[in-house]
Structure 1
Amino acid sequence: MRKIIAAALAAAFFITGCSAELPVRSSSTAQVSESVPQEVQQKYVPLNYKEQVGMWLPYVRFPEYMQGRSEEQFRKEVGELLDDAAAESVNTVYFHAHPMGDAYYSSDIYPRGEFLDGNYDPLAIVVEEAHKRGISVHGWINPLRLQTDEQLRALPEDYIIKKWIAAGEPFVKLVNGRWYLDPAYPETVELLRETAAEILGKYDVDGLHIDDYFYPTTDEEFDREAFELSGEPDLADWRRDNVSRFVKVLYDTVKSFDRELLFGISPQGNIDSDYNSQFADVRRWAGEEGFCDYIVPQIYFGFNNESSPFLTVLDQWEELAQGSEVSLVIGLAPYKLGREDKWAGAAAELEWINDPDIITKQIAAVKESSADGYALYY
């Protein structure tokens, strides 16, 4: 993974500076006056930046530097990864603490993730090593996605999801072999609140981050019973309200711990798909106060993409966030470098192979835009 980061970032990060500011309290944990009482100094001061240069640390990469590693080996690998990132201006990492009904941290709610086979706490180590380097850490959770049916059968019977299934509760639904929380119910929203509170209460993270796992299907059967009981006239609007409700609860939970902590959302890059397929009301979240501090659309498209060319989509998100207090951070996809893009259309299938400077050019475009920063997925 270090080689991937070094190769992609070396070309990308010579461009710095963005226009607007993220809500921040401090850019350093060391700026504490000697006159402040000791008990106040002991309270952690969130570390966040006005110009966010983010990087996701996803669970799909955990086998490379977590699985089969001792605590010392994991710490060394994480330190080297963060050194590479810091050297190229990354100031914020989103660590995958809760990918799919599991935990890569010390949890009283969820079973440990399958790639964590050592006796240590990955999130605690990432927070410690990142803060040593002046890097902000946002705990990244997938709100609704759970284990596959096969994975679930191997877990303890006292796991709350298994207890709900055994009791015939409607709070979780099986879709194509994987279980998902149904956000229509207060019980599932409360579980999400407890998840956020557990991470925020145990760790000196600087924020919380969710990505694009909202409704897993448009099938009306997924939540027909709850919709009929709701008395609401429109299924799509009702679903969007359900998602916005738990997003609001997560935001409020983050702010209940510290107003200076940040809550961010990373939806798909296609605004219409967010709204109509996943029932994620990104216009509302980016336009109204109280849903998020920053939004990171995954604009994982090349310049020549036939249906969603990068510059067009970037313009759409700029327009959506215009005049808002919510910061716009553009998600970019260096993981695509050197790969065929089968969904981009015939004219753009080989763009990520033929143009090794595509990420550099996209960062330049972000710099010229009204966006507040960018984040990279490897």
Structure 2
Amino acid sequence: MKPNLKKRAFTLGTMTGALALTGFLSSCSTQPTTPGSAADNPPPAPREFRAAWVSTVANIDWPTKPGLPAAQQQAEAVAILDRAVSLNLNAIVLQVRPAADAIYPSQIEPWTEYLTGAQGKPPSPMYDPLAFWVKEAHARGLELHAWFNPYRARHDNAKSPAAPNHITNTIPSAVKRYGKFMWMDPAEEAASKQTMDVILDVVRRYDIDGVHIDDYFYPYPIAAPEVAGNAQALDGNGKPVAKELDFPDGPAWERYLAGGGKLDRASWRRDNVNRLIEAMYKGVHREKSWVRVGISPFGMGRPDRRPPGITGFSQYDKLYADAELWLEKGWVDYFVPQLYWPIAQTAQSYPVLLDYWISQNPQGRHMWPGLFTSRIGAAPPTLNYEPKEIVDQIALTRARPLSTGHVHFSMAALTQNRKGISDQLRATTYQGQVLVPATPWLASAGPGTPLVTAKRGKDGVDLKLKAGKATTLYAIWARHGGEWRFSVAPAARVDWTVPDDAQLGAADLVVVSAVDRLGKEGARVYAWRKP
């Protein structure tokens, strides 16, 4: 297929061809060449954020059940990463803090029970799961984003007692019961401090690419228990109005008022969350400027700003999440609204909601909507998607130049290949590798120029690559019969082969560049030209 280079860059991902790992076949090498004409200049690198969430809570994605031996946990992690590579994804968003606990050794919070079946109990034999995930992801050219639940402390369905160093035991005043949940009170300074301490501890200790938080701020409302003799409130049509259990933050609210606070209670709650978001964004970048901060809020915005026809739950009024403000202030590097509804569902239409969030993004932060891929094959009464819904949602996202990626919830649907979704994505939507979009608003000196030698081998052009400064990936173009093929290689590997094409034959020109942590591409090196 002859590519139309005027199309959006991601369409280059439809080009076939990949790099095959091999030994270098000869000690002989060529020096880098120079472009001979305009036709020798490769097109821009194709870019799109293609990611999937990996949930540890309730063993949704990993590990498949608690108590597995360390070797089996690692094998399951590798299988997930290999599946991501086979689908041409480029990032994994791994849940590292499900409920004020940890999937890694922490001095602040206990081991999660989802690893071993008992909170506070380490894996056996002992290893560091987060360090393992980071190392194995980077070895495959995948980004690894650490996903934190900011306020959930515990659910009544927990299988083991809270560990002695769990926040419910160490700082019980910072935690409130809400229905079946124990919830870290956003108004309690000790709760927010613990969340910040946990996040910054991970940023300092691990080579992660992003910090990611989900949609749990104040808890989703639950129905208040009925009390005998209470009159049922009615709406304007005379229908009963469901009562909601209010979050029990009275002590902090009373302290706020006693200190001269002037905000109403809803605005005060939103301010509590806003202060954490701002502190997290600035704190992460003080530690490591290249670690991107992402938030994945509920997918509908403020009721007073919604497009006509959009109705439903208000996170602004119920979760006290002022997501529009976070975009306005630039307190995120990427924004992943959970657009978990079908295209044709008018009251929560996927494209209408996506356009809304794009319109609320004055700082031009990355807009990478969340897709409910796990609805494919879901059991009733959950709405059941066909794979076409996800394929079409990706196509609609790509039709909007200001939305440059997406995230699947969750990896389980792709690993299980529900109704053939993974096969369809690989065949029609993810046919080639792509780089993550660059993040120019974060400081970066850019990568150095790689040292490249090349030699014609048995099955292709064999490359020896040596990374320059700050390199995380190599971007590699190969021209076959006038068509450019694009591939990505991790900077940790040095021996690669650009394979011959089954239809077009051997590459006549190979060009290589380095890419840094923020997606910035360096100078291109003309590594090989057919004699």
How high is the TM-score relative to the length of structure 2? 0.57
Do the aligned residues in 2 keep the contact of 1:192 with 1:250 (CA within 8 Å)? no
Aligned to 2:301: 271
Do the aligned residues in 1 keep the contact of 2:113 with 2:160 (CA within 8 Å)? no
Distance in 2 (CA, whole Å) between partners of 1:336 and 1:184 is 35
2:408 aligned partner, one-letter code: L
Distance in 2 (CA, whole Å) between partners of 1:80 and 1:340 is 25
Aligned to 2:154: 147
Deviations 1:195-234 (A, max 9, x none): 0122112211111100001001475452123223322331
Alignment of 1:351-362 (within 5 A): 352=385, 355-362=386-393
Distance in 1 (CA, whole Å) between partners of 2:137 and 2:264 is 46
Alignment of 1:116-127 (within 5 A): 116-117=115-116, 118-119=123-124, 120-127=127-134
Distance in 2 (CA, whole Å) between partners of 1:91 and 1:80 is 15
Distance in 1 (CA, whole Å) between partners of 2:151 and 2:372 is 23
Deviations 1:269-293 (A, max 9, x none): 111322111111111111113x111
Distance in 2 (CA, whole Å) between partners of 1:282 and 1:140 is 18
Distance in 2 (CA, whole Å) between partners of 1:68 and 1:186 is 35
Distance in 1 (CA, whole Å) between partners of 2:198 and 2:348 is 35
Instruction: Return closer, same or farther for 1:63/1:326 CA change in 2, 3 Å cut-off.
Output: closer
1:110 aligned partner, one-letter code: E
Deviations 1:29-52 (A, max 9, x none): xxxxxxxxxxxxxxxxxxxx9632
1:256 maps to which of 283, 286, 301: 286
Higher relative strand content: 2
Matched, 1:372 2:408: no
Aligned length: 320
Distance in 1 (CA, whole Å) between partners of 2:393 and 2:92 is 20
**1:185 offset after TM fit, Å?**
2.2
Aligned to 1:188: 191
Do the aligned residues in 1 keep the contact of 2:110 with 2:165 (CA within 8 Å)? no
Higher relative helix content: 1
1:298 maps to which of 338, 345, 349: 338
1:339 aligned partner, one-letter code: A
2:49 aligned partner, one-letter code: Q
How high is the TM-score relative to the length of structure 1? 0.78
Instruction: Return closer, same or farther for 1:211/1:306 CA change in 2, 3 Å cut-off.
Output: same
1:288 aligned partner, one-letter code: K
Aligned to 1:12: none
Do the aligned residues in 2 keep the contact of 1:197 with 1:253 (CA within 8 Å)? yes
Aligned to 1:4: none
Q: Which runs of 5+ in 2 are unaligned?
A: 1-7, 12-45, 117-122, 222-243, 303-313, 411-531
**1:108 offset after TM fit, Å?**
1.1
Q: Secondary structure at the match of 1:357?
A: helix
Identity %: 30
Q: Which runs of 5+ in 1 are unaligned?
A: 1-14, 19-48, 344-348
Q: Secondary structure at the match of 2:51?
A: strand
Matched, 1:56 2:53: yes
**1:156 offset after TM fit, Å?**
3.3
2:357 maps to which of 290, 300, 317: 317
Aligned to 2:74: 75
Matched, 1:281 2:322: yes
Do the aligned residues in 2 keep the contact of 1:211 with 1:266 (CA within 8 Å)? yes
Q: Secondary structure at the match of 1:283?
A: helix
Q: Secondary structure at the match of 2:93?
A: strand
Deviations 1:45-82 (A, max 9, x none): xxxx9632111000132565463433332222222211
Distance in 2 (CA, whole Å) between partners of 1:193 and 1:226 is 19
CA RMSD of aligned residues (A): 2.4
Aligned to 1:7: none
Matched, 1:224 2:217: no
Instruction: Return closer, same or farther for 1:286/1:63 CA change in 2, 3 Å cut-off.
Output: closer
**1:372 offset after TM fit, Å?**
2.0
Distance in 2 (CA, whole Å) between partners of 1:135 and 1:189 is 31
Do the aligned residues in 1 keep the contact of 2:62 with 2:76 (CA within 8 Å)? no
Query: If you compute each CA radius of gyration, which structure gives the higher value, 1 or 2?
Result: 2
Do the aligned residues in 1 keep the contact of 2:63 with 2:115 (CA within 8 Å)? no
2:251 aligned partner, one-letter code: E
Aligned to 1:93: 92
Matched, 1:174 2:177: yes
Deviations 1:219-260 (A, max 9, x none): 545212322332233111111111010111211221121111
Distance in 2 (CA, whole Å) between partners of 1:124 and 1:304 is 42
**1:151 offset after TM fit, Å?**
4.2
Aligned to 1:346: none
2:90 aligned partner, one-letter code: N
1:374 aligned partner, one-letter code: H
Q: Secondary structure at the match of 1:94?
A: strand
